[in-house]
Amino acid sequence: MLPKPPALKHRFDVRVYYEDTDMGGVVFYANYLKFMERGRTEWLRAVGVNQSTVAAQEQRAFMVTELNIRYLKPARLDDLLQIESEVTRMGRASLHFHQTIRCEGELLTQSDIQVCCVETVNMRIAAIPKSVRTKFAVTIQE
């Protein structure tokens, strides 16, 4: 039986820099994906998972396999954004996240993202390692 997804909802703040924007000072659409990637990485760190260690010791990595994103309002130069990440489902080899980006409480972007665990050698889907699942289980019980 697969464990329930962690109830942890993680928040990560990121400032919009000039490099993130177009000439009008509006965040380039693809950069929202970078902000969300950072949010998922910080979520993993918060539950005790270091992706470099998992890659080196378990020969496993996480990669995005599906993405649905909705852009509601633009972020702008110097905005302080709140990236919220929450696991909505956990499979044997996948994590499903709902992520939002807000600025001063106002919803700018929302997404549903599926991330799969893959073997680093052949990039084929593989089960999430037990060492990682154990950290998720500890988070659930806290």
Positions marked catalytic: 22
Going across the sheet that includes 80-90, the strands are 9-15, 80-90, 94-103, 106-119, 60-71
**Distance linking the first and last C-alpha atoms of the chain:** 20
Q: How many CB atoms lie within 10 A of CB 78?
A: 11
* Measured distance CA(53)–CA(64) in Å, rounded: 19
Q: What are phi and psi of 103, to 5 degrees?
A: -135, 120
